[in-house]
Amino acid sequence: MDQNILEKAQSWTHGNFDEGTKSRVKEMIEKNPEETADSFYRILEFGTGGLRGVMGDGTNRMNKYTVGMATQGLANYVMRMFPGIEHKMAIAHDSRNNSRYFAQITAEVLAANGFRVYLFEDLRPTPELSFAVRQLGCQSGVMITASHNPKEYNGYKAYWDDGAQFIAPHDENVIREVEKISSIDQVKWQGNKEKIVSIGSEIDEAYLAKLQTLSLSPDIIRQQKDLKIVYTPLHGTGRTLVPEILKRFGFRNIHPVEEQMVADGNFPTIKSPNPEEHSALDMAIQLAEKLHADLVMATDPDADRVGIAVRDNNNRMILLNGNQTASLLFYYVITKWKEKGRLNGKQFIVKTIVTTELLKDIAVSFDLKYYDVLTGFKYIADIIRKNEGLGEFIIGGEESYGYLAGDFVRDKDAVGACALIAETLAWTVSKGKSLYDLLLEIYVKHGFYKESLLSVTRKGQSGAEEIKQIMIGYRSNPPKEINGSKVVRIKDYDSLIEKDVENGKENIIHLPKSNVLQFFTEDGSVISVRPSGTEPKIKFYFGLRESLVDKMAFEETDKKLNEKLRGIINSLNLK
């Protein structure tokens, strides 16, 4: 074992660590050098979703000490950036194992540093934490969650005073402050617990009231209030507010998946608590078929993402991907804004660079300004902040099942999205159509956009190095063609250079640096490659487009695009 790693591990076997930790680390060193190396080879860092890792002992694990040290570093940074005032912080947590414990540790460390801490009384969704930061005038906030990761994970999302996750320079500055905390003895573990204020229903009410202002078709909902909706929180925080906001919008026929309404960090009824994975919605779809329901919605454990299933023209329940759901939401919301005379040239939408270009086409068709940003909802929030007083944000979204309408939350919001998805269904049914019909109409009008995502997992220290080498290889020797189509343009978001392959001309990309590559082929395909900031994965995003003559040609065109997608995957040796 590397001597530096061994010394790090041994430092956890003495000093002020609790006896249980000391004993477990001693045993790990003696019996499992591979696990020891993976547990101590690095310090968890803030990525696109903050601090996230497997729970356990070690500097590379989520535990009392890594959470406490991160919190001390965060507290030091907030105090430095906001001198001379009473510092306030909001904290929420999801249903994961140890989430409440980590939230309490965070609260106690902050209180020991003199913060007034607003700690939710029980589990709450991530978007409500973002809302609470703004509502309570906090300088920062923390959400204890690992989002949709497997049950072994937990995490720590940090928020700034605008209710958005940190971006540069704050993210890097916080990391530096955390790195200065080299010993648990530098953490203030105990302080005045009277500084910790329990919050709950009062914030729920304020948040739900703001969400109700998003409704664009209350009259139509009154007509369609009995539409059958099946909902599952996948054992997570959505159980607290999603059924309630659906009722407040006016829907009266909501059917929860009772077995999954139980908050449980072991996620006993599902393989993965990720609504992007089809199996996560199996129980909900079974209930929908039994009830002949019109819509299925599933939120992830911290209720910032939502996956849906709708009925196709053969009355079968089919799953939509994040790009398709975003397209329906954007089209409905923008259409209603236009009908209500709310478009005056100052409005805008935002999407990420790996999200379907169909959203851009929809925006352009309504003469709306649009922004493309890096992957991560914090960049969508940054555009909202930069346009305050200059423009009006309508809606934003990303392919990974995250959407946001309105600007009172500054992160993806599955609670609000569920309400608007149900309202979109009511609107289409009032016109004698289904959500599936509407999606096909959008494809006929703007083109059939088909997107797919392939994630390649490489675990541990060796996996991180392998992912690094894959990116180096693509940069040093980029593909000249993909599936027989020439690569004509390459965007490198690390060097911030866009290169025309044919003439060698280069342009500057005006976005923050990010470890992302995009290859554009002659036939219009877009392949994006990005290592995950929160998981041991490298992700490949595929975007294809074909004209759709009419709805009847959908299946034939879909088959053609599927064959093309398989060809692209095979040509990149990803099969």
Angle at which helix 435-446 crosses helix 322-339, to 10 degrees, equals 90
Sign of the CA dihedral with 433 first, then 438, 439, and 445 last: positive
Q: Closest Cα partner for 325 from 359, 349, 353?
A: 359
- Separation of alpha carbons 422 and 44, rounded Å: 39
H or E element at residue 134: helix 126-135
Q: Can you point out the beta strands (E) in 300-433?
A: 306-311, 317-320, 347-352, 369-373, 392-398, 402-405
- The answer to whether 159 and 142 are in contact (CB under 8 A) is yes
* Both tokens assigned to 3: 């001597």
Q: Give the three-class secondary structure for 204.
A: helix
- Separation of alpha carbons 2 and 423, rounded Å: 57
Length of the chain: 575
Residue type, 383: I
H or E element at residue 451: strand 448-457
- The answer to whether 40 and 9 are in contact (CB under 8 A) is yes
* Both tokens assigned to 30: 């003696």
- Separation of alpha carbons 284 and 266, rounded Å: 18
Catalytic pick among 99, 140, 147, 327: 147
Strands 306-311 and 317-320: antiparallel
- The answer to whether 92 and 203 are in contact (CB under 8 A) is no
- Separation of alpha carbons 355 and 569, rounded Å: 19
**How many other C-beta atoms are found inside a 10 Å radius of the C-beta of residue 262?**
12
- Separation of alpha carbons 216 and 22, rounded Å: 57
* Both tokens assigned to 57: 């002992």
- Listed in sequence order, the residues at least 6 apart from 288 whose beta carbon sits closer than 8 Å to its beta carbon are 228, 230, 295, 296, 309, 317
- Separation of alpha carbons 143 and 156, rounded Å: 6
Query: How is 239-287 classified by DSSP, letter by letter?
Result: GGTHHHHHHHHT---EEE-GGGSS--TT-TT-S-S-TTSGGGGHHHHHH
- Separation of alpha carbons 126 and 53, rounded Å: 18
- Separation of alpha carbons 187 and 78, rounded Å: 15
Q: Distances in Å between the alpha carbon of 570 and those of 456, 527, 573?
A: 14, 13, 5
Angle at which helix 19-31 crosses helix 3-11, to 10 degrees, equals 150
Sign of the CA dihedral with 214 first, then 220, 224, and 227 last: negative
Decide if 147 is catalytic.
yes
Which residues participate in catalysis according to the annotation? 147
